[in-house]
Structure 1
Amino acid sequence: MIKPKIKVCGLTKFNQIQELIELKVDFLGFIFYEKSPRFVLNHLSLEQISEFNHQAKVGVFVNETVEKIVEISEKAKLNFIQLHGDEDEDFIKRLRQSLSEKVEIIKVIRIGNQKKKELKKTINYQPTTINYLLFDTDSKAFGGTGKTFDWKILNEIKIPKPYYLSGGISLENILQLSTINQQPAVLDINSKFEIEAGIKNIEKIKTLKSLLK
C-alpha cells in the first residue's frame, strides 16, 4: 500500500500552521467560503497566508466567481484551487485560462445516495483541465461534517486521476483504507482532528503521521 500524503484543511490559527509546516504536513487547506465556521479570512489576512513558506497551499472555494478565485490565489500565493461547489465544465475552463499555469485544480465530487452509474457519469464529465479529484461526503454545508461515505463505492468505478479522500477520516477508521483498491493520493483531514472548528488537535495529527509510516 502506497502511503498517502496528508492535507490538513480548515486552518485558521497562525501558530498551528507554523507547527504543521515544521511537521512537514504535505498540504495546508484554507477555506474561503464565508458560510463555513472555518472561514479563514475571519482569522488571517491574504498577506499572512502568502507569507507561509509552504509549497502546497490549497484554497477551498464554493460557487465563487472566477475573478475572485484568481484574485485570492494571487494575493495569498496559493498552489492549488479546490472547487467544492457546483462548478461546471465551462466555469473550470474559464478558471484554468485565468489562473497561473503553476496553480493546479482539484474538483470535488460529493458522494451521497447516487448509484454507481450516476457517479461514473459525474466523473466522466469532469474536464481534462483538472489535476485531481476529491471525494467527500455530500452535505448542505459543503463538507466539514465529520461524516464518512461508504468507501466501497470507490471499488465499483474507474477513477481516472489521482484523488483526495475526504469526509470523516479519523484515527478510528484509518485502517479501513486498505479496503479501497485504488488508493487515495492524499487524505484530506479536518473535523475529526480538531478541538473545535478551526483549532486543530496537533497531537492527533502527529499520531496519524506515525500510523501512515
Structure 2
Amino acid sequence: MVEVKICGLTAADQVAEAVKAGADYLGLVFFARSPRNLDPARAAELAAEAGGARRVALTVDATDAELDAILARVPIEILQLHGRESPARVAEIRARFGLPVMKAVGVAGPEDLALLARHEAVADRVLVDAKAPAGAALPGGNGLSFDWRLVAGRAWPRPWMLAGGLSPENVAEAVRRTGAPAVDVSSGVERAPGIKDAALVRDFVAAAKAAG
C-alpha cells in the first residue's frame, strides 16, 4: 500500500487529523521563510501527538548547530534535506547524526535525473519534487508539479517518495503513472498557507492508499 506523508503541519489539531486519516509520516518544517516554519519547542509539542506515524524534520541547508538544536528538543525519525545540500553533505549529516536521511531533489527536465542518481548513492531515500522556479522563496511546497513521465518506469535503487503539486484529485493518477511507493503533500491539502484542511487530508490519504 502507498505510504503518505503530510508535510508542513503547524497545529495539534492538524497532527491529530493526519494521524486519524492514516498518514504514515508527519513533516515538521524548520525553515524561517516558510509559512509552515516551527521552532523546536513548538515542534516538540506537535511531535508528541504523532502516535505511530514517523516524524520527519524538513530543513534547508541547515548547519550542524541548527540540526543539533532541533534534535535536542524534537523526537525525529527522519531528516529531510530540502536545500542545495551536496551528496557529500548528505553523507556527512547521515554519519554525524545517525538518522535516516531523505534528500529532496527538484526535477523539471531530464537533465535533473543525474543529480537524482548522485543523491541515491548516499541518502536512505530520495524525495522527487518539482523544481522550484528561479527566484522562488521556498524550495518546495509551491503547489507545482513536473512531468511524471520523467520518472515513470525508472529503476530505483533506494526507496523514494513523489511530491510536487499533488492533491486529492490527482494523487491516484500520479501513483498509477509513476509507480510511486510513497507520496508527499503540503499545499495540496491546505485552505491557506500553513493551514491544513481536515477533509482534504482525509481525501488525499484515502485516494493515495486506494491507488496502490
What is the TM-score when the length of structure 2 is the normalising length? 0.87
2:163 paired with 1:166: yes
Mark the runs of 5 or more structure 2 residues left unpaired by the alignment. none
2:126 paired with 1:128: no
2:66 paired with 1:68: yes
Report the Cα distance in structure 2 between the residues aligned to 1:67 and 1:210, rounded to whole angstroms.
Answer: 38
- Closer, same or farther in 2 for the Cα pair 1:75/1:176, shift >3 Å? same
C-alpha RMSD over aligned residues:
2.0
Query: Once the two structures are superposed, what CA deviation does each residue of 1:85-106 show, in whole Å capped at 9, x if it has no partner?
Result: 1101221222122213xx2110
2:208 paired with 1:195: no
Please, which moves more after superposition, 142-151 or 119-128?
119-128
What is the TM-score when the length of structure 1 is the normalising length? 0.86
Q: Which runs of 4+ in 1 moved over 4 A?
A: none
Query: Once the two structures are superposed, what CA deviation does each residue of 1:42-62 show, in whole Å capped at 9, x if it has no partner?
Result: 9x6243144234341011011
2:19 paired with 1:34: no
Query: Once the two structures are superposed, what CA deviation does each residue of 1:101-149 show, in whole Å capped at 9, x if it has no partner?
Result: xx2110011012x3x2x33321222263411110111113201111111
- Aligned AA for 2:59? F
- Secondary structure of 2:152's partner? helix
- Which residue in 1 is equivalent to 2:205? 209
- Aligned AA for 2:112? L
Could you tell me how far 1:197 is from its partner in structure 2? 1.1
- Secondary structure of 2:56's partner? strand
- Aligned AA for 2:17? E
Q: Identity of aligned pairs, percent?
A: 24
- Secondary structure of 2:58's partner? strand
Count of residue correspondences: 203
- Secondary structure of 1:195's partner? strand
Could you tell me how far 1:156 is from its partner in structure 2? 6.3
- Aligned AA for 2:183? L
Report the Cα distance in structure 1 between the residues aligned to 2:199 and 2:117, rounded to whole angstroms.
Answer: 39
- Aligned AA for 1:158? A
> Any conservation in 1 of the 2:107–2:113 contact (CA below 8 Å)?
no
Mark the runs of 5 or more structure 1 residues left unpaired by the alignment. none
> Any conservation in 1 of the 2:130–2:146 contact (CA below 8 Å)?
yes
Report the Cα distance in structure 1 between the residues aligned to 2:181 and 2:67, rounded to whole angstroms.
Answer: 24
> Any conservation in 2 of the 1:92–1:127 contact (CA below 8 Å)?
no
Could you tell me how far 1:74 is from its partner in structure 2? 3.5
2:8 paired with 1:6: no
Report the Cα distance in structure 1 between the residues aligned to 2:165 and 2:19, rounded to whole angstroms.
Answer: 23
